[in-house]
Structure 1
Amino acid sequence: MPSSEVPVFFAVDDNYAAYLAVAIKSLTAHTDPARQYHLIILCDNLNTANQDLLKTYQQANVAISFVAINAQLKQAIDDRGNKLRSDYFTFTIYFRLFIAELFPDLDKAIYLDADTVILDDIAKLYDVSLGENLIGAVPDYFIGHTPETIDYANQAVGIDSQKYVNSGVLLMNLKVMRDCHFADHFLDLLNRYHFKSLAPDQDYMNAIARKRICYLDSSWNVQITTPKTVTPRLIHYNLFAKPWRYADAPRRDYFWRYAKQTSFYSELQHDLAQMTPQETERDQKNQRDLIALAVNIIKTPVTFAAISKQGVKIAL
């Protein structure tokens, strides 16, 4: 018998409030009236005005709450050298790795990045059985289909590139993660070795959980480069081709369908109109830098795979 309440986590700051609004509107449009859903927003510098706007998207079977990430947790993360998409550092990328410890009353939950659009009842994902696996996730299409990142996954992270998963959509076995002290293990590795990473949270998740991943149907995380033959139940606008930045972004119509239903629609349209050739070149440079970084990390002596070969326990 499935649990009646479905906990769904997001992690954002003010920079992602507008995109989170779109994700929430799409999620609420596909809920089962017989189920209860609790959207828990882990936030860092999310102002009261944005919280109030997001809270208006609650409905009879969907509650929304906000949990500020405390300074103690942020102080525990002393590795700030890795950037998101080779662009900027944000604490929010790490918050998902602490959900099990921060919410000890929950045995299972979903984590979603804010740049997602949900096209089916998210409870169907929640009801997937994980067994003793730590997480359920979908392989990262970009990593698994780019020559340099294929080598990176295999040689630096220590996981088959076709099994390297994207951490933007996670079904999390919180009880099992607590039982094996996942958060403590992550912090020890992070702060002891300072691994250089392409995707900081994602690389650690893959390295640590690689023996205990439940591979989900790819329709639950259709990414920017996922083939159009896959019918999406959830779209994840990962990497650079965001629909609020590029008028020709893949699967953009799904995003704008729900963006029109939010208070942020005009802001998002303005962002799209303000996109310049210089910004496009910056994105292209960041992607080139990301691929170059993959090549360079493989050559360094401190990688997950290299340390594992020295006898250090990486995978749980």
Structure 2
Amino acid sequence: MAKNAVVYTVSGPHILLCATSIASLIDHYQSEASLDILVVTEGELDADVALLRELPDFYQKPQVHLFVWQKPPITSELKHYDNARFGQVTLWRLFVPAYFPNYEQLLMIDNDTIIMADISPLFSLNRPGNVMAAVPDFYYYTLNPPVDQNVLPDFSSMKAYFNSGVLVINVALYNELFKPEMLVERADQANYQYPDQTLLNLLTAGKVTLLPFRYNFQKDDDWLTHWAEQTDPAVAADMTAERQHVVIRHFLSNLYGYRPWGHLAVMDEFEAAFWQYFSQTREFFTTETKRRGLNHY
């Protein structure tokens, strides 16, 4: 077993995004160190599972190993969670460290991402004694102050409020501090607009290493130019400088027009990379499906 692992949690049609992100991650992985990719899901087709497992071989990365797991059993104890925008799958990440306690670090990545460079340096960036490393949430980092009280509790500074789309977790310390039963209780009561993200911020306050924007770059050029620059020019300048060194581009928006699959034009190099890996995986999966006799047409 590898020392570190990357984790994706996915359900339903998001498997297409998950596969695209994984493909870009594997292709850019340069370290000789063994790396496990753990896809935590529910009810996926056996054919999809088999195809996902072939991605490391397709990109000729024998040091990368992909495994597909069913969701943590304890998530069945979530009885009262109800969020129209974020399904229960978003809460699975709370229980993943207890599910995989033998790893030293877990890098958790959202499905709506594209990887632009080697992710292996991320495993060395969390400071000793901190539960996790994460990138500030772009919107609230720029908006601070004021705090959006209709969405979030009263944090002392929104500059430290992180986005949960990319997390580097110290597994042993996380499991020492946060028992699964406690997390079930807290998650069932999480009536926040961003449930898992806000809950993690509350639980880990003061124990988080804040990473440069490049490791979870959450917005596009239009947002930087037309909103961030007008709201806080200094912050916008810092984000724009980091744009030149993006490692993980997170297509974070509740508006489809700001995601590559929400419009026809290809707006920048990140969207071009998304379609490159989407096309590569579709071609590979189509060929493999026919070769294995899995197709029914």
TM over 0.5: yes
* Aligned residues of 1:130 and 1:173 also touching (Cα < 8 A): no
| CA spacing shift, 1:149–1:221, aligned 2, 3 Å | farther
Question: How far off is 1:39 after superposition?
Answer: 0.4
Q: 1:213 — aligned with what?
A: 208
| CA spacing shift, 1:265–1:235, aligned 2, 3 Å | farther
SS state at 2:25 partner: helix
Q: 2:106 — aligned with what?
A: 109
Equivalents in 2 of 1:266, 1:228: separation in Å? 36
| Structural RMSD (CA) | 2.7
Give 1 or 2: higher helix fraction. 2
Question: How far off is 1:228 after superposition?
Answer: 4.1
| CA spacing shift, 1:218–1:189, aligned 2, 3 Å | same
| Higher deviation after alignment, 23-32 or 238-247 | 238-247
SS state at 2:174 partner: helix
Q: 1:73 — aligned with what?
A: 74
* Aligned residues of 2:131 and 2:170 also touching (Cα < 8 A): yes
* Aligned residues of 1:159 and 1:207 also touching (Cα < 8 A): no
Equivalents in 1 of 2:273, 2:180: separation in Å? 35
Question: How far off is 1:219 after superposition?
Answer: 0.5
* Aligned residues of 1:137 and 1:167 also touching (Cα < 8 A): yes
Equivalents in 2 of 1:218, 1:146: separation in Å? 16
Matched AA of 1:131: P
* Aligned residues of 1:7 and 1:38 also touching (Cα < 8 A): yes
Question: How far off is 1:51 after superposition?
Answer: 1.4
Equivalents in 1 of 2:43, 2:154: separation in Å? 31
Query: Of the candidates 59, 65, 84, which is equivalent to residue 63 of structure 1?
Result: 65
| CA spacing shift, 1:96–1:174, aligned 2, 3 Å | same
Equivalents in 1 of 2:179, 2:154: separation in Å? 17
Question: How far off is 1:149 after superposition?
Answer: 7.8
Matched AA of 1:253: A
Matched AA of 2:176: D
Q: What does 1:46-57 correspond to in 2, within 5 Å?
A: 46-57=44-55
- Aligned residue pairs: how many? 258
Q: Does 1:90 align with 2:107?
A: no
SS state at 2:168 partner: strand
| CA spacing shift, 1:159–1:266, aligned 2, 3 Å | farther
* Aligned residues of 2:10 and 2:40 also touching (Cα < 8 A): yes
SS state at 2:24 partner: helix
Matched AA of 1:233: V
Equivalents in 2 of 1:7, 1:133: separation in Å? 18
Query: Of the candidates 251, 255, 265, which is equivalent to residue 237 of structure 1?
Result: 251
Q: Does 1:203 align with 2:198?
A: yes
Q: 1:295 — aligned with what?
A: none
Q: 1:143 — aligned with what?
A: 140
Q: 1:36 — aligned with what?
A: 34
* Aligned residues of 2:3 and 2:104 also touching (Cα < 8 A): no
| Higher deviation after alignment, 53-62 or 220-229 | 220-229
Q: 2:290 — aligned with what?
A: none
Matched AA of 1:6: N
Question: How far off is 1:33 after superposition?
Answer: 4.8
Matched AA of 1:61: Q
| CA spacing shift, 1:129–1:147, aligned 2, 3 Å | closer
Equivalents in 1 of 2:70, 2:10: separation in Å? 10
SS state at 1:82 partner: coil
Equivalents in 2 of 1:56, 1:149: separation in Å? 48
* Aligned residues of 2:147 and 2:154 also touching (Cα < 8 A): no
Question: How far off is 1:143 after superposition?
Answer: 2.8
Q: What does 1:236-315 correspond to in 2, within 5 Å?
A: 236-239=250-253, 240=255, 241-248=258-265, 251-263=270-282
TM-score, L = length of structure 2: 0.78
Q: Does 1:164 align with 2:161?
A: yes
Structure 2: gaps (5+ residues): 225-238, 287-297
Equivalents in 2 of 1:182, 1:153: separation in Å? 29
Q: Does 1:178 align with 2:175?
A: yes
SS state at 1:151 partner: coil
Question: How far off is 1:150 after superposition?
Answer: 3.0
